[in-house]
Structure 1
Amino acid sequence: MEITPSLKDYDYHLPDAFIAKYPLKKRDASKLLHYENGKIQHAHFSDLPTVLPPNTQLVFNDTKVIPARLHFRKPTGAAIELFLLNPLKPSTLIPQSMESHGPVVWECMVGNLKRWKEGEQIECEIPLNQQNIVLRAKLLSRETKAVEFSWDPAELTFASIVEASGEVPLPPYLNRKADDSDKSRYQTVYSKIQGAVAAPTAGLHFTEKTLEELKKRKIPLHYLTLHVGAGTFLPIKHQNILEHPMHREQMVFSKENIENLCRTRGNIVAVGTTSLRSLESLYWYGVKLISGSNTEFQVGKLDPYHGEEKNISKQKSFEAILAHMKNTNQAQLIGATEIFIFPGYRFRVCNGLVTNFHQPCSTLILLIAAFTHQQWRVIYEEALKNEYRFLSYGDSSLLWYNKLEV
């Protein structure tokens, strides 16, 4: 497998004026760049149902962004900001932690850590349901940034506490504070399962009307869950990209998801890089089951490259997963992925990708480079020339890896 590990090959100049700081008034009014076999066409996102071929199914990520920024102030006046990253107790599974009625422990990014002593408890009052709720936070470890949260009354879930007190965690490159409109706009219309700290932004363009139009055209819509982590914004700092530490994100697949993947013979178009990473990770889990190595649903950063010699079809991989689920009496799969996709990777599941335009020198631009057979620079230069809006609130693209004509 050919690897191009130099970061400088994935840099480009992105003027600040091209970064969309706010969303458009209408979600589907954004531009849509359509790339296939070296040809580029321009459309609007509302045209997507007519652009997609009929032998296609779309796979969405239905994760819901939680207002993960929590603000406290010590009696001395010092401000402490906590950014929820990963649950630790009573469960490492995000949905279970969010529905907890008792104390929870999360790994957090801590703003102003130097002013907060280990073991020290701080608190804030939250107006909720016509009463004042007291939320307490205790720093358990400065090293691991483990924070315990507790609250009164305890019959409330952690999800309801966070919803009432937290702030929408906008990407740092927007360089502004979240306002009231972000609560709905930095969320897909089909979001369902709470747990992401960043939106699957490719889905922000879809409206109920677009989804209905897709259904009318007999394009199946399927949903998986990957809880997007803050690591998605972590820039690559090493010229050798293989030294970049990939973030781990939780995934959830239903048995129905995998049965649908087994049946499909047409194009599978991932809505967003998070859906794509999840689907490709699922394939490699099936490969691990077939090889008899490990039954744990964990996909490491470079696992795909170690198993590249195994030429196993996606159908055989998914059938192996279904057999394992039947043998272990599982109705759904819950796992985690650190998969790192860069040029040299051969996609096993996804033929097409709906995605926004990404930052220079990021893991996402490397994924796009791999998916477009290294034609990403041509695509991005065309988008800049035509004044597309970039990043989370920006315009969209439909990219093809190998469109099937069936």
Structure 2
Amino acid sequence: MRVDLFDFDLPAENIALRPARPRDSARLLHVDGSKPFGHRHVRDLPQLLRAGDVLVFNDTRVIPAQLDGMRGEARIGATLHKRIDLRRWQAFVKNAKRLRPGDVIQFGANFTAIAEERHDNGSWTLFFEGDEPVEVLLERAGRMPLPPYIAGKRATDEADKHDYQTIFAQEDGAVAAPTAALHFTPELLDALDAAGVSRETLTLHVGAGTFLPMKVDDTTDHTMHAEWGQIDEDTAVRLNAVRQNGGRLIAVGTTVLRLLESAVDENGIIQPFAGDTSIFITPGYTFRAIDGLMTNFHLPRSTLFMLVSALMGLEKMQSVYSEAIANKYRFYSYGDSSLLLP
């Protein structure tokens, strides 16, 4: 499909630079089949779902994966993208033309990395020297990797260490937050429990590739970035039981949806999964694992806007986004949310 079919105009004032406070006070555009749009708030979720439904969350934890360093006199910026092994990460590098294989980058006292290999997409493999775990080094010298549409307008600060982390965050490895889950609070979870809506977690380590612009004119020419995910056997069994008992499986975020659709078989049974997924979902895709999606509002011409268009239909999503823009919903990572029920 032509990428320009997924373009739209978004006023700059609709881009959120800070989250709503409290988190569950964010607005929620309720899109339920052919019913009129509902303008609600995230805290209204218990009234919008049914007893027996399950919300599925991503328990990945964002690491401070943005680094500033020096190679000799040259400034080098690195955003870690994907773990390779205990001491190696693939990273997008700013000022990469100043790097050669074997160069040493100094990111701080006793914190150095060797630039080992440049990849076809411009990223580098960095080998972090020393005995301390890389995660410890990052906590000391790294910054939270805010999306470029926020970082380009303000500096990262102490508030982002909390704001850009969900309450489900357990497993270190993401360099971008699963933002749909940023809206949840303990009080909202209590209300969902009381309404009979259960929850499950899985892990998908979101990579910085999620922010890369599409550089092709047709979706068939796009190579999707890979991310590592895991669904354990017990979780898969419980998720399948929900649907067998008539409940709906609602993915909280596109990361959850992509992992579930990677793990489901042709009969609609979710299988245990551990490994990379580079699934690219565009209109025409047949969904087998999920019955709905809670998600924030995405960038024009992005793979994520293509994904929601596959779920609801392109014309429907164009109408949804027009409604959101006209009603001044806040977009992107710190923005408002939507509940999409085909």
Q: TM-score range by the shorter chain?
A: over 0.9
User: Does 1:167 find its partner at 2:143?
Assistant: yes
TM-score normalised to structure 1 length: 0.79
Which residue, 173, 186, 194 being the options, matches 2:164?
186
Q: Which residue of 1 aligns with 2:54?
A: 57
Letter in 1 for 2:52: N
Separation (CA, whole Å) in 2 of partners of 1:353 and 1:191: 19
1:251–1:337 contact (8 Å) kept in structure 2? yes
List gaps (5 residues or longer) in structure 2: none
Separation (CA, whole Å) in 1 of partners of 2:135 and 2:88: 13
SS at match of 1:106: strand
SS at match of 2:9: coil
Q: Which residue of 2 aligns with 1:353?
A: 293
Letter in 2 for 1:206: F
Which residue, 262, 265, 272 being the options, matches 1:281?
262
Q: Which residue of 2 aligns with 1:213?
A: 191
Separation (CA, whole Å) in 2 of partners of 1:122 and 1:53: 53
Which residue, 292, 313, 317 being the options, matches 1:373?
313
**Worse overlay, 15-24 or 137-146:** 137-146
SS at match of 1:252: strand
User: Does 1:30 find its partner at 2:6?
Assistant: no
SS at match of 2:37: strand
SS at match of 2:206: coil
1:269–1:352 contact (8 Å) kept in structure 2? yes
Separation (CA, whole Å) in 2 of partners of 1:277 and 1:124: 34
Letter in 2 for 1:241: T
1:395, distance to aligned residue in structure 2 (A): 0.3
Q: Which residue of 1 aligns with 2:337?
A: 396
TM-score normalised to structure 2 length: 0.93
Structural RMSD (CA): 1.5
Which residue, 267, 280, 286 being the options, matches 1:313?
267
Rg (Cα) greater in structure: 1
SS at match of 1:181: helix
1:189–1:207 contact (8 Å) kept in structure 2? yes
Separation (CA, whole Å) in 2 of partners of 1:49 and 1:262: 22
Separation (CA, whole Å) in 2 of partners of 1:119 and 1:86: 20
2:50–2:195 contact (8 Å) kept in structure 1? no
Letter in 1 for 2:256: S
Separation (CA, whole Å) in 1 of partners of 2:58 and 2:28: 20
2:102–2:115 contact (8 Å) kept in structure 1? yes
Separation (CA, whole Å) in 2 of partners of 1:74 and 1:340: 37
Q: 1:31 to 1:178 in 2, by over 3 A?
A: same
1:75, distance to aligned residue in structure 2 (A): 4.4
Q: Which residue of 2 aligns with 1:69?
A: 66
Letter in 2 for 1:314: G
List gaps (5 residues or longer) in structure 1: 92-96, 98-103, 127-133, 287-311, 322-331, 402-406
SS at match of 1:46: helix
Which residue, 87, 108, 115 being the options, matches 2:91?
108
1:59–1:222 contact (8 Å) kept in structure 2? yes
1:160, distance to aligned residue in structure 2 (A): 1.4
1:10–1:365 contact (8 Å) kept in structure 2? yes
Deviations 1:243-287 (A, max 9, x none): 11101010111111111122123100000011011111101xx3x
User: Does 1:340 find its partner at 2:280?
Assistant: yes
Deviations 1:165-224 (A, max 9, x none): 111111111223311111110110111101111111101100111112111222111000
Q: 1:118 to 1:210 in 2, by over 3 A?
A: same
Deviations 1:111-139 (A, max 9, x none): 1223333312232435xxxxxxx111111
Separation (CA, whole Å) in 2 of partners of 1:390 and 1:109: 25
Separation (CA, whole Å) in 1 of partners of 2:78 and 2:4: 34
Which residue, 121, 125, 129 being the options, matches 1:150?
129
Q: 1:37 to 1:208 in 2, by over 3 A?
A: same
Which residue, 112, 115, 118 being the options, matches 2:101?
118
SS at match of 1:246: coil
Q: Which residue of 1 aligns with 2:38?
A: 41
Kindly tell me the number of residue pairs found equivalent between the two proteins: 332
1:70–1:166 contact (8 Å) kept in structure 2? yes
